[in-house]
Amino acid sequence: MGTAINRKHTKLPMTKIDILVQNGLVVTIDERQPIIEDGAVAINQGRIVAVGSMAEIAGQYQAKKILDARRKAVMPGFVDTHHHFLQNFHKGTRDDLALIEWIDSVSVPRIRVAVQDYLQGVYDIQIHASKLGCVDTIKSGITTILNMEWATHPTVIDVFEQAGIRVWHTITMTDQWISPEVILPHDRLLVLADELMERCQTSVNGRIAFSYGLACPNSCSEGLIKEVRSLADRNQIPIHIHIAETEYEWDNIHKKFGTTPTGHLHNLGLLGPDVQGAHSIWLSDEDIELYRQTGTKVAHNPECNMKVADGIAPITKMLEAGLVVSLGTDSCAVNDNMDMFEAMRTAAFLQKVTTMDPAVLPAPTTLRMATLGGAEALRMENEIGSLEAGKKADLILVDLSGSHMRPINNLENSLVYCANAHDIQTVICDGQIVMEDRQIMTLDEEEWVSNATQYAYERFTAEGIELPNYYSL
């Protein structure tokens, strides 16, 4: 007779992993298990391998690095679907101009410097802007951002790679209406687009992706719009465009073409599931239906839209129609920060007051817009945006211990209405700890910020742009 084996006390070997986040309030943005109290997330080789309670996870994994998330929320990193890093140099410039006047007096003079430098083979202004933007992005808990720029040399991709964030780098394409000084020659523009596309394809772990960016219907000819649609189809590259941002745009397009900006783009064949429409404020019910029929996505930028008095996007109607709606912080010159908590809070409040219905855009919906909604807008919902086994490990730890957060009556409500960017304690992107205990691990924050602001001060003042002496303080 063989010897009996006591299986009751047999201990299974623990699986070795890179990171274990434990003891946290895990906000998964996964309807199957939205919030896990005393939860844990296991991470290995850049991906989430398990999400569950400590009782389920703790005994299964042996981690090289353990992060204690006690008194913290563990949630997906924010996905910011509309931003312009160059304009991080313009924080706090003006608060008394409508968008068209703001473009002429604030934006164009600085974009002109970047474009003219690029044409001379000098790329420092965009490199420093990207460095400043990356610091802001990390500190705000944004792990994925769509950054829309003018003339950016492929060397900016090196900056994104070093910072460790996920970026959709988008080139602004335009050929009319706006100042000729900021319009790249057409052939040069197409060459640059190809160079950026090729560089992004070789980025570390595929973290940096490329998309075509049309400035807006006013500043893009029918020929350019059709050409970009053709390029996008041929190269399987998405398109990002400002749509229906101002009443001025609506009036101008309607006068020229007898239709709305959305209708105009639809008539040219631009709209589709690979298109993200930034702003999308001046939409009729018929326009929303065109978005629905074509699968066009929305990047909502509530704070920017408020500051320049563009209007309020009909987000409630969009969601009721089944559109994919995401959140963006837009330019730090017309926001003036990258705080996605603020963006959520503002988005929710705006819809409640404009519909006179306090039940619209509840916290779970708003939180989803800032995470999984952003992933859907970028067609990355199978990779990021929620905490699920198999997805890329993009997540943040939010400190809940501050007096402004306590007591916590409802965690999702508290995150949307009480928290701010300073509560972001730790950021993980692609399985790499990018920030821990508010200390950025991938770069020298003070060096990047000081060098960027000092360079911008010297370069802009050399071009006759008046700046205060304390600009680079």
Does residue 332 share a domain with residue 222? yes
350 and 418 housed in the same domain: no
- For 330-353, the pLDDT digits (tens) are 988 788 999 999 999 999 999 999
Same domain, 85 and 210: yes
- CATH no. for residue 419? 2.30.40.10
Q: So what's the pLDDT on residue 4?
A: 45
> Which pTM was predicted?
0.96
- Give residue 1's pLDDT: 38
Asked if residue 137 and residue 155 are part of one domain, the reply reads: yes
Q: Domain of 69?
A: 13-76+385-440
* Same domain for 86 and 158: yes
460 located within any domain:
no
Element (H, E) at 52: strand 47-53
Co-location of 427 and 335 in the same domain: no
Looking at the structure, tell me whether residues 167 and 237 fall in a common domain: yes
CA–CA separation, 115 and 121 (whole Å): 10
Query: Does any domain span residue 60?
Result: yes
409 and 431, same domain (yes or no)? yes
Question: What would the mean pLDDT of 78-107 be, rounded to a whole number?
Answer: 91
Verify that 290 and 390 share a domain, yes or no: no
User: How many Å apart are CA 116 and CA 182, to the nearest integer?
Assistant: 8
Please give the tally of structural domains in the chain: 2
- Give yes or no for residue 102 having a pLDDT over 90: no
Residue 391 CB burial class (10 angstroms; 0-12, 13-18, ≥19): buried
Whether 466 is covered by a domain: the verdict is no
Tell me 34's DSSP state: S
Q: Is the pLDDT of residue 183 over 50?
A: yes
Residue 473 covered by a domain:
no
Region 353-382: mean pLDDT is 98
Query: Residue 464: inside a domain, yes or no?
Result: no
* Mean of pLDDT values over 31-39: 92
Same domain? 358 vs 410: no
Confidence of residue 7 (pLDDT cuts 50, 70, 90): very low
Choosing from 349, 377, 405, the residue where a domain stops is 377
Handedness of CA 40, 44, 48, 52 (dihedral sign): negative
User: Is residue 92 located within the same domain as residue 29?
Assistant: no
CATH number at residue 109: 3.20.20.140
Give 123-175 pLDDT, tens digit per residue: 999 999 999 999 999 999 999 999 999 999 999 999 999 999 999 999 999 99
| 3 has a pLDDT exceeding 60 | no
Structural domain includes residue 452:
no
Are 65 and 174 contained in the same domain? Answer: no
